[in-house]
Amino acid sequence: MSIPHLLTDTLLSQIAVPAQAIPNPGPQAPPGAGAIENVVSYVRWIAGIAVLGLFFGGIVAATAGRMWDHHGSGRLGARMIVGSLALAVLFGLGYTLVSQFAASAA
């Protein structure tokens, strides 16, 4: 060990650092957080209505395609129904997944 290292280690060990030199404040919502929450709730409402519209539109398309023997419309309607059900599952799990990720990151 060299003399400069020995001196710096000795001097630094002599300096007493208080246990809480820097305060650790709790989390606080930023200004305008309420407005952001309102926008997110509007987007969630629109997404829910879109999933319902896709489901009922798929029912109409599948029924019309089968009634008038238009196979393309019937297949499209069936895909719309299955797609809306998958989106509904993702819509339901979305909040849980995001909350889980946020809780594990904090």
Whether 32 is covered by a domain: the verdict is no
Q: Which DSSP string corresponds to 83-97?
A: HHHHHHHHHHHHHHH
pLDDT tens digit sequence for 31-72: 988 999 999 899 999 999 999 999 999 999 999 998 888 888
pTM here is: 0.64
Domain count, the chain: 1
Whether 68 is covered by a domain: the verdict is yes
Least confident of 19-28, 49-58, 61-70, 79-88: 19-28
Domain span at residue 95 reads 42-106
Q: What angle do CA 62, 53, 73 make, to 5 degrees?
A: 20
CB contact at 8 A, 76 and 54: no
Whether 82 is covered by a domain: the verdict is yes
CA torsion angle 87 75 53 67 (round to 10): -150
Whether 72 is covered by a domain: the verdict is yes
